[in-house]
Amino acid sequence: MMRAGSMTGRLVVSAIVWLIAALAVTFVLLTGLFRNTVVSTFDTNLIDHVDEILSLTQVAPDGHVSLKRHPADPRFNKPESGWYWGIASSRGWSEHSHSLDGFRLPTVPAPVMLEPDPAPYRISGPGGIEIRVIGKSVSPPGTDQRLTVFVAGPVSAIDAAAARFNGILFLSLAVLGAGLLLAIVFQVRFGLGPLRSIQRSLSEVRAGRQARLTDDLPRELAPLAAELNALLDHNDTSVERTRRQMGDLAHALKTPIAVIANAAEQVEGATGETLREQVSVMSDSVNHHLARARAAGSARIIGARTPVYPVVDALHQALARIHAGGTWEMDVSMPAEISFRGERQDLEEMLGNIMENACNWSHGHIRVRGEQDGGELLIVVDDDGPGIRSEDRQTALDRGGRLDETVPGNGLGLSIVRDIAGLYDGALQLTDSPLGGLSARLRLPAT
């Protein structure tokens, strides 16, 4: 359907308005021309009958007017047919058609009938039928009498012919208009097809299934596609520049913090404890905000796409090496075709923190599974550890929130996961695991 305000709607509606106006003007002009033609033909027919009657008229030496024979047209013999003729002389009416049946046609001033082209006039004839009359006045050779010949025909004959033509013309223009309307819709949709191609290409780019816009476009739209591709390149360059700056900043900050931390180790007493505590706070804050800033830059990358299974498998192998002495095992159930609409390093950051957290707390069994529902990706990491009470789960998601100080960590892992997921309009939820421990449910956009 065409939405209000759409280009297709505006083009089609404007074309329909012009089409209706053009067809209406055409209808008025053609009906007017046809009616004029019918009237002209009708008047010519009447004049022909006048000339025929004049050619049949004869005047006797005593002035008596008669016809050699009556006109052959049978319509002049049917009463109230609308077709009449009559001859009037200075002595009165001499001859008339049988259809007049005693009715006398009114005369008009002689100058009208003396013109080379007699002017027709309209009157009400027998039976109230409106008729169109043409009269012609002549003086036959060898006589001083002046004869006037009248011939009339029904106006309804003109109206009927015009009505038939108008109906046929209206139906023809309606069919033509419908055909032109379909042609307009097809032309508009065909003409705007490349714009829909750009839209689909942008959707593919945004979903990560295509790197750049297609170049298979008409030359009028090729500059637009080139500009959009240049904008995508500029976006990638800006994000990459931001990522490098974050890395440089991390390097610039971590080295002084490490130096201060080493120096703080040499200070004894309450002062040393305070220094070491504040250095830890500084280090945690730097790690948190740098990770968030880097993820924010990555989330703005258009077209990023990361298959999930290779990331989970790589993290599984890495954690197996790190916790080589552990007794846990990890089951991975992940369709190979599902993909995250985002950067690989962000997915590694999120899954790495969740899976490492499960390894730290598990009693021996960890399960990682993933599924895709439309445009949403769900990754669930279950463990059989002690879990987290429902009233403590929000604390675990807060920055620096630690529920057990005996386990290594700084309390930033789940907080970073939540923040990065939020940058992608995703979410991290902690619930009870069917294995008896904690279930971390990570929802992210899918391609």
- Confidence label for 293 from pLDDT (cuts 50, 70 and 90): low
**86's torsion region: left (phi>0), alpha (psi -120 to 50) or beta?**
beta
Q: What pLDDT is attached to residue 207?
A: 65
Separation CA 287–CA 411 (nearest Å): 12
Burial 387-424, CB ≥16 within 10 A → b, else e: bbeeeebeebbebeeeeeeeeeeebbbbbbbbbbbebb
Q: Where are the alpha helices (DSSP H) in 57-100?
A: none
DSSP category for residue 103 = -
Q: 73-130 pLDDT, tens per residue?
A: 899 888 888 899 888 877 666 788 888 877 776 655 444 444 456 778 888 888 888 9
List the beta bridge partners of residue 288: none
CATH number of 58-157: 3.30.450
Average pLDDT in the chain: 79
Alpha-carbon dihedral sign for residues 339, 342, 348, 353: negative
Residue 407 banded pLDDT, cuts 50, 70, 90: very low
pLDDT above 70 for 424: yes
Q: What angle do CA 114, 118, 121 make, to 5 degrees?
A: 120
How far is 169 from 322, CA to CA, in rounded Å?
Answer: 89
Q: Identify the CATH homologous superfamily for domain 306-445.
A: Histidine kinase-like ATPase, C-terminal domain (3.30.565.10)
Q: Could you state, in order of their start, the residue ranges of all structural domains in the chain? A: 58-157, 206-303, 306-445
Confidence of residue 303 (pLDDT cuts 50, 70, 90): low
Tell whether the model's pLDDT for residue 403 goes beyond 50: no
State the DSSP string of 11-45: HHHHHHHHHHHHHHHHHHHHHHHHHHHHHHHHHHH
pLDDT in tens, 306-364: 889 999 888 888 888 877 666 778 888 888 888 888 888 888 888 888 988 888 888 88
58-157 and 206-303 in the same fold: no
pLDDT given for residue 147 in this prediction: 83
HSE of 182, CA atoms in CB hemisphere, 13 A: 5
Question: Per residue in 25-78, pLDDT tens?
Answer: 999 999 999 999 999 999 999 999 988 988 888 887 777 777 888 888 899 888
Provide the sign of the torsion angle of the four alpha carbons 105, 111, 115, 120, taken in this order: negative
Given this model, what pLDDT does residue 41 score?
Answer: 94
Lowest mean pLDDT among 140-154, 181-195, 273-287: 273-287
Show the tokens assigned to 414. Answer: 């789940």
Q: How far apart are CA 147 and CA 141, in angstroms?
A: 11
Question: What's the CATH number for 206-303?
Answer: 1.10.287
Percent of the chain residues past pLDDT 90, beyond the cut: 17
